[in-house]
């Protein structure tokens, strides 16, 4: 403390000499000794305010969005310096508000660098520094961890596929991971479900069930609700359904912590978890991680500076891509630089800090999601200089967590995994000049913009719709010869949703899942338009005659019951047929499921969203994430076996927790189930039919 105080005093003296609007002397001038005493008083006051008042300010601002809080850091720190100068006797400390912001930022950075340098060769000092960084006061006592049973940390590298990880290791981008592989860690690829996205994968991994999650976003006819995996209300409902389905709170119900995830996993300690983000007021535990991190003004200043640097980096990278006319390319303007900076800086720093704190507190199980790569790859593509830089920084975060594990009160097993990969490719609109929604509307004979009518796909779809309608008007009987269900006289427009390269089409005026025969009667050209389009790989639709069928180009029609990994799904690789068959049985599967084309020669797909790195359906790297485990843990699967689906990954992680920390409680405690339920009772939810034994706990 004395050394930091002395260095801070010297810093103030230097800044007072360099900045004309910052004074530490009276108007008549002072001796150097008097000026030094004034600087020491100001440095001491600023340090005390940072230690005592700053945490209160951050806690009061927990309801402020994190991005806004990061931008406010400089101004809040400058305000504290003005207060410190005001406390100096005789009014010798004077600074303009703008100058105060600069001086406070430099002071915090110098103090942080000094304390870190002093701690390099002192394990106790380094440990204390880590405690301050993570907001912890002391580690758990050894007697609190019987026989020093190992804890487990699961780090999810969002969107990093198996192929990308191997390439990053080979190219020297991730030396920490490379060292682990050399030390005997097992790298195991696994295969996602049809819905290869964080909502489905993380729900299955943390809660053991991703049943009835057909995509990232989908329309539910029985409730009239649009479900979107990264909306708090939807995350709450999905977690509640999974808990009801399994009778278990999740992977983290025993002394667990969930950091930066969509779902809590039953953890009692949560930070930046979407399914509890609806909490407001002093009980808002979702934002507790912000307080633990930003309560140290040095961290706040460093993160705010990194935030600004990341915004500038994104602007520079997008400008370079534009000048070089790189293709494929999507728009990266507007608020995207700030969104990227939040994901790659603020979210990363807060989550890593929270994980470090969990280890120093000796928690049994921690699951954290680092989303930086996924966010950048969507707009820059999964391969290239932009994502290489992100992978380097992720490796440094992993190395820091591994270093902190050496100071924890119990040993830790660190497991790396991903929830999906990403497949590159030009967007569907970029390749064909119209969106999936435009194509569906044209196939239905509905109005479309003029630009769509000028495209070949749009023109062909509209012509086919007109021709089919003329034929249908002269067709007296339904081709199946069966009595058809009555459909509404005035059909509503279709709801068209995109989840990466997976599209969903629903007709909200029909309460049941429409069959192929019903769709053909209403829109005779629609299914043929979709199935024959060169940008579409295959279409799944229910059928009154065959149960459900897969349609593809060339008039291919295969009943789902007869699907295998050949035929129209051969290009998508092993397991595609089973993935489609499973999704076909979901209660909320869309009327029409559309998977884009996949070119195995280039590994490309066409996203139905504005993404040149996408995931959500079948095709390429998106379906092949990884699992990296230390040799102390048992192999994920037996020799020659394949790890398939997020639910199977959940069972593997459960087994590893038992190996490290003993039997896991199968049914969560009331406190962990509590956060699975919404706080706002006005939120419309499906009725719950649960066993009476669970009513008391809920």
Tokens, residue 24: 């530490």
How far apart (Å, rounded) are the C-alpha atoms in residues 481 and 116? Answer: 80
Stretch 44-69: mean pLDDT = 66
What is the residue-averaged pLDDT of the chain? Answer: 81
- Residue 161 pLDDT greater than 60, yes or no: yes
Residue 4 confidence (pLDDT): 81
Full DSSP string of 273-328: -GGGTT--STT-GGGHHHHHHHTSHHHHHHHHHHHHHHHHHHHHHHHHHHHTT-SS
* pLDDT-above-90 percentage for the chain: 49
Kindly tell me the burial class for residue 18, based on how many C-beta atoms sit within 10 Å of its own C-beta (0-12, 13-18, 19 or more): exposed
How far apart (Å, rounded) are the C-alpha atoms in residues 688 and 196? Answer: 27
- Residue 691 pLDDT greater than 70, yes or no: no
Stretch 444-448: mean pLDDT = 84
- CA 132, 136, 138 angle in degrees (round to 5)? 105
- Least confident residue range of 58-62, 351-355, 466-470: 466-470
- Residue 370 pLDDT greater than 50, yes or no: yes
Residue 26 confidence (pLDDT): 67
Around Cβ 376, how many Cβ atoms within 10 Å?
25
Scanning 171-208, the segments in alpha helix (DSSP H) are 175-182, 198-207
pLDDT digits (tens, 9 = 90+) for 489-516: 456 789 999 999 999 999 999 999 999 9
Spatial contact of 46 and 16, defined as CB atoms under 8 Å apart: no
**Greater model confidence, 20 or 242:** 242
Stretch 321-339: mean pLDDT = 87
Stretch 398-427: mean pLDDT = 93
- Least confident residue range of 128-137, 477-486, 584-593: 477-486
Stretch 207-226: mean pLDDT = 95
**Greater model confidence, 192 or 34:** 192
- Residue 192 pLDDT greater than 50, yes or no: yes
**Greater model confidence, 233 or 679:** 233
Kindly report whether the peptide bond that precedes residue 101 is cis, defined as omega within 30 degrees of 0: no
Stretch 270-276: mean pLDDT = 86
Residue 693 confidence (pLDDT): 32
Closest CA to 91 of 163, 28, 181, 176: 28
pLDDT bin (cut points 50, 70, 90) of residue 122 is low
pLDDT bin (cut points 50, 70, 90) of residue 539 is very high
pLDDT digits (tens, 9 = 90+) for 567-625: 899 999 999 999 999 999 999 999 999 999 999 999 999 999 999 999 999 999 999 99
Residue 144 confidence (pLDDT): 47
Residue 665 confidence (pLDDT): 45
Measured between its terminal Cα atoms, the distance across the chain in Å is: 49
**Greater model confidence, 286 or 168:** 168
- 504-509 long-range contacts (CB < 8 A, ≥24 apart) are 504/214, 504/215, 504/217, 504/218, 504/219, 504/590, 504/592, 504/593, 504/594, 505/440, 505/590, 505/591, 505/592, 505/594, 506/218, 506/219, 506/221, 506/590, 506/591, 506/592, 507/591, 508/219, 508/221, 508/224
Spatial contact of 638 and 212, defined as CB atoms under 8 Å apart: no
Residue 119 confidence (pLDDT): 54
- Residue 475 pLDDT greater than 50, yes or no: no
Kindly tell me the burial class for residue 315, based on how many C-beta atoms sit within 10 Å of its own C-beta (0-12, 13-18, 19 or more): middle
Residue 116 confidence (pLDDT): 60
Stretch 424-438: mean pLDDT = 93
Structural domains in the chain, sorted by start: 2-121 (no CATH), 150-284+337-425+621-683 (3.40.720.10), 428-475+488-611 (no CATH)
Residue 130 confidence (pLDDT): 59
- Residue 278 pLDDT greater than 90, yes or no: no
Spatial contact of 608 and 500, defined as CB atoms under 8 Å apart: yes
- Residue 280 pLDDT greater than 90, yes or no: no
Beta bridge partners of 558: 550
- 401-407 long-range contacts (CB < 8 A, ≥24 apart) are 401/153, 401/155, 401/352, 401/355, 401/356, 401/359, 402/176, 404/130, 404/356, 404/359, 404/360, 405/153, 405/359, 407/123, 407/126, 407/127, 407/130, 407/360
Residue 679 confidence (pLDDT): 33
pLDDT bin (cut points 50, 70, 90) of residue 688 is very low
Residue 454 confidence (pLDDT): 61
pLDDT bin (cut points 50, 70, 90) of residue 34 is confident
Residue 460 confidence (pLDDT): 56
pLDDT digits (tens, 9 = 90+) for 656-675: 999 987 765 443 333 333 33
* 588-617 burial: b if 16+ Cβ within 10 Å, else e: bbbbbbbbbbbeeeebbbbbbbbbbbbbbb
**Greater model confidence, 411 or 462:** 411
pLDDT digits (tens, 9 = 90+) for 77-115: 667 777 777 777 666 677 777 777 777 777 777 776 666
- Residue 698 pLDDT greater than 60, yes or no: no
Around Cβ 475, how many Cβ atoms within 10 Å?
10
Element housing 259 (H / E): strand 256-259
SS3 502: strand
């Amino acid at each position: 403390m004395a050394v930091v105080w002395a260095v801070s005093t010297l810093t103030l003296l230097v800044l007072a000499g360099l900045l004309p609007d910052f004074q530490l002397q009276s108007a008549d001038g002072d001796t150097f000794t008097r000026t030094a005493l004034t600087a020491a008083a100001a440095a001491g006051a600023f340090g005390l305010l940072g230690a005592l008042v700053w945490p209160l300010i951050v806690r009061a601002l927990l309801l402020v969005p994190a991005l806004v809080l990061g931008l406010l850091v400089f101004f809040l720190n400058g305000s504290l310096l003005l207060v410190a100068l005001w406390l100096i006797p005789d009014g010798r400390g004077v600074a303009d508000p703008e100058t105060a912001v600069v001086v406070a930022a430099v002071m915090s950075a110098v103090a942080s660098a000094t304390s870190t340098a002093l701690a390099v060769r002192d394990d106790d000092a380094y440990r204390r520094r880590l405690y301050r960084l993570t907001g912890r006061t002391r580690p758990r006592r050894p007697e609190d961890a019987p026989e020093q049973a190992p804890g487990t940390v699961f780090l999810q590298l969002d969107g990093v596929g198996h192929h990308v990880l191997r390439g990053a290791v080979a190219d020297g981008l991730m030396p920490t991971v490379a060292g682990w592989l050399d030390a005997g860690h097992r790298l195991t690829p696994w295969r996602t479900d049809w819905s290869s996205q964080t909502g489905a994968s993380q729900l299955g991994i943390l809660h053991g069930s991703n049943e009835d999650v057909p995509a990232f976003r989908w329309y539910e006819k029985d409730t009239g609700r649009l479900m979107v995996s990264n909306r708090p209300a939807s995350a709450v409902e999905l977690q509640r359904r999974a808990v009801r389905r399994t009778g278990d709170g999740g992977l983290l119900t025993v002394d667990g912590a969930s950091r930066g995830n969509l779902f809590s996993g039953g953890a009692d300690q949560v930070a930046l978890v979407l399914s509890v983000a609806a909490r407001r007021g002093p009980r808002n535990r979702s934002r507790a991680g912000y307080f633990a991190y930003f309560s140290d003004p040095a961290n706040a200043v460093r993160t705010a500076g990194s935030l600004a640097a990341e915004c500038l980096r994104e602007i520079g990278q997008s400008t370079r891509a534009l000048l070089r006319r790189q293709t494929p390319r999507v728009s990266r303007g507007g608020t995207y630089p700030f969104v990227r900076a939040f994901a790659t800086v603020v979210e990363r720093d807060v989550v890593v800090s929270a994980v470090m704190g969990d280890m120093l507190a000796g928690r049994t199980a921690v699951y954290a999601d680092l989303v930086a790569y996924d966010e950048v790859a969507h707009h820059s593509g999964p391969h290239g200089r932009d994502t290489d830089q992100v992978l380097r920084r992720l490796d440094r975060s992993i190395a820091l967590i591994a270093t902190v594990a050496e100071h924890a009160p119990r040993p830790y097993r660190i497991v790396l995994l991903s929830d999906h990969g990403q497949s590159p490719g030009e967007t569907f609109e970029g390749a064909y000049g119209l969106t999936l929604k435009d194509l569906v509307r044209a196939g239905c004979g509905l109005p479309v913009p003029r630009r769509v009518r000028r495209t070949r796909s749009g023109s062909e779809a509209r012509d086919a719709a007109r021709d089919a309608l003329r034929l249908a008007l002269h067709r007296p009987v339904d081709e199946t010869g069966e009595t058809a269900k009555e459909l509404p006289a005035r059909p509503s427009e279709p709801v068209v949703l995109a989840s990466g390269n997976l599209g969903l089409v629903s007709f909200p005026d029909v309460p049941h899942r429409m069959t192929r025969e019903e769709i053909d009667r209403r829109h005779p050209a629609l299914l043929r338009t979709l199935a024959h389009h060169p940008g579409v790989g295959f279409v799944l639709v229910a059928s009154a005659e065959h149960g459900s069928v897969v349609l593809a180009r060339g008039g291919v029609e295969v009943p789902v019951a007869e699907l295998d990994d050949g035929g129209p799904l051969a290009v998508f690789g092993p397991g595609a047929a089973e993935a489609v068959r499973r999704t076909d049985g979901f209660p909320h599967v869309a009327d029409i499921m559309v998977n884009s084309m996949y070119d195995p020669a280039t590994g490309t797909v066409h996203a139905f969203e504005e993404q040149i790195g996408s995931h959500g359906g079948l095709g390429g790297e998106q379906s092949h994430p990884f699992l990296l485990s230390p040799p102390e843990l048992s192999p994920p699967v037996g020799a020659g076996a394949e790890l398939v689906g997020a639910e199977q990954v959940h069972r593997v992680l459960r087994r590893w927790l038992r190996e490290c920390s003993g039997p896991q409680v199968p049914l969560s405690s009331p406190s962990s189930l509590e956060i699975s339920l919404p706080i706002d009772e006005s939120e419309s939810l499906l009725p719950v039919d649960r066993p009476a034994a669970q009513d008391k706990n809920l």
